[in-house]
Amino acid sequence: MTATADRSDVATIHNPATGAVAGEVRWTAAADVPRIAAGLREAQREWEARGAKGRAKVLARYAVWLGDHRDEIEQLLIAETGKSATDAAQEVPLLLIILSYYIKAVEKAMAPETRPAPLPFLSIKKIAVHYRPRPVVGVIAPWNYPVANALMDAIGALAAGCAVLLKPSERTPLTAELLVRGWLDCGAPEVLALAQGAREVSEAVIDNSDYIQFTGSCATGVKVMERAARRLTPVSLELGGKDPMIVLEDADIDLAANAAVWGAMFNAGQTCVSVERVYVLDPVYDQFVAAVVKAVENLKVGAGQGYDLGALIDESQVAVTARHVDDALAKGARALTGGKRPDGPGSFYPPTVLVDVDHSMACMTEETFGPTLPIMKVSSVGEAVRLANDSPYGLSAAVFSKNVERAKDIALQLDCGAVNVNDVISNLMCTTAPMGGWKTSGIGARFGGVDGVRKFCRQETVVVPRISVGAGGNYYNNSLKALARMNKMMTKMALSRPRREAK
């Protein structure tokens, strides 16, 4: 994507594959963001008052709208990003999966929870935890999945009863406008709004929101957290990854090879949970590499219909990919496919399989976010685990073995937020489980069942009496005899369980 400024507040968006005009966007002035947020804050009160069932009905109508307008959304998505039709076709269905789940789960998620009394003498109290939505949730979304990433977190926030202020990437602003138009077209209230722009607008969104959901690079995530800390605004950060894949000697090699190729090349490698490095046990290394090369050679590169992977988002992303490949080749790696940018228009880079790689190379240690697949031979499972964990990132991983229990044991040795056994990326569709990163790959998690709604809420504890008799005059009954009696009774009750457990 490239944006050409025509006037100070309007830009033309170009398709990175063809250079054709995809549309125009009007940038939001940072000074206008407080007004937009104030409008959302006002509308949110009525949205919360509808209750979980009322909001679920609106979300259901929106799901129907997304399904009915899928072709329109995907055509604009291709025009804006240069994706292949295969890649573009994944985004709306993912949103429908998320919507379908939260439409069903939101009532349970928002229901107050009763809690037991911690000690018998407190059983005269009823304890309940209520979930109250934060008024305005700011969602700062990336460019790699402009449809899915714009809404996959917004859905949980809207279900909770929050209003959402969406700031899409300035590289892909057009699809976000279509999504917001669809929200209003299906009769939903004005609790979903846009702020279009770059850094200054992002800062204004952070300054005017009650919670921030950010998806993007680690470096930008640090800046988001620093900005949010000024107002003690809570954040959830889903950041970069360098996801490893481990192939054991007893793996189904064809399955593993095809999974590696799809996991690495899907969306031209521009996926936070893509396969970015593979460690293969020595006995099956040659067989695995041959199967990978065969699969990659069948891929068709181009935008739109009939292609497997499309363009990279812009020239800067091509430059990162080329730098990683060139660095690897200079240090002794070999490119079995690709390895050099083709002549011709568009921000394309060929799917590139690298072998003879090691951790001295950027392709094994830095996030590439491009269509590369570096494969390293290892002599043992221990070496594979050590190298997989030798990274500042910890988003997700994959382990391939016909022995599922063995693979699970290895999975639990990997320092990351999710591990797929005999598959890749599938955890992203498991909305009942959390998706979050360790180390520099993020803080917090998206999804996670009811937690995917509750994360956007504040907890409020309400304690009410079970009986009408209160402490009365005992509040300040400070005679020495009364005080000694009270201390003895409370200590005895509080220590009864520890004394039993300590025996």
Which residues are marked as active site?
238, 272
Cα separation, 463 vs 460, in Å, equals 10
**Structure tokens that stand for 372 in this block:** 């590369």
CB 240, CB 220: distance < 8 Å = no
Q: Are strands 438-439 and 10-14 parallel, antiparallel or unpaired?
A: unpaired
Pick from 116, 125, 127, 123: nearest CA to 462: 127
First and final C-alpha spacing in the chain: 68
Cα separation, 80 vs 314, in Å, equals 11
Phi, psi dihedrals of residue 372, rounded to the nearest 5°:
-120, 150
Quick count: other Cβ atoms within 10 Å of Cβ 495? 11
Max Cα distance, the chain (Å): 93
CA of residue 425 relative to chain centroid, distance: 12
For the CA atoms of 378, 381, 386, 387, the dihedral, rounded to the nearest 10 degrees, stands at: 30
Cα separation, 400 vs 32, in Å, equals 51
Query: Helix (H, G, I), strand (E, B), or coil: what is residue 361?
Result: coil
The DSSP letter of residue 414 is S
Phi, psi dihedrals of residue 55, rounded to the nearest 5°:
-70, -35
CA of residue 241 relative to chain centroid, distance: 11
Q: Are strands 235-238 and 438-439 parallel, antiparallel or unpaired?
A: unpaired
**Structure tokens that stand for 121 in this block:** 């003498």
Beta carbons within 8 Å of 203's beta carbon, 6+ residues apart: 30, 227
Cross-strand pairs, 23: 13
DSSP H/E element including 377: strand 372-378
CB 271, CB 144: distance < 8 Å = yes
For the CA atoms of 328, 331, 335, 338, the dihedral, rounded to the nearest 10 degrees, stands at: 50
414-427 burial, b for 16+ CB within 10 Å, e for fewer?
bebbbbbbbebbbb
